[in-house]
Chains A and B, each alone.
Chain A
């Protein structure tokens, strides 16, 4: 993430996310959002799908039986 361009506050909060997979995914999503800030209809589905694939296998499903 071109970290100097996203608001400091957001960066700080992202770093506070405990879950590694979720944190990485959220970083990818925010990077995407920042890059596409101006576009009316950013095509996020493909990119989000890619990001998801990177982390989902390692993710431990905490909330299985809430």
Chain B
């Protein structure tokens, strides 16, 4: 457990992404081949955070960010994965008091995750098939715990 004391900070209104990755989000939302056509941008973002925490890694945002959505769009279903990933990253729940850092961690995992996710969806193979195989496997591992 870290000895670090976390500063109480407010996270700011918008969740940001790297400027040149905006197109990736748009393509995932608009392309017929994508499983994300009915998802909101904030949902794709959180999926990318989770995906990134597993398959990519934290990638700091290059340059000035660009707002993707407003914090108000998130709800319990989407907030807790973000919080948990920050907690797991810092190995302490103390980090939750530092809203800014929680958001930053999420943004950086999303930054890495979105690139991976985009390649997965638009690369060879059937994205729906491959991603759902993945997810089903995770579910089966989880329930056998």
Q: Are A and B close enough to touch in the complex, i.e. CB under 8 Å?
A: no
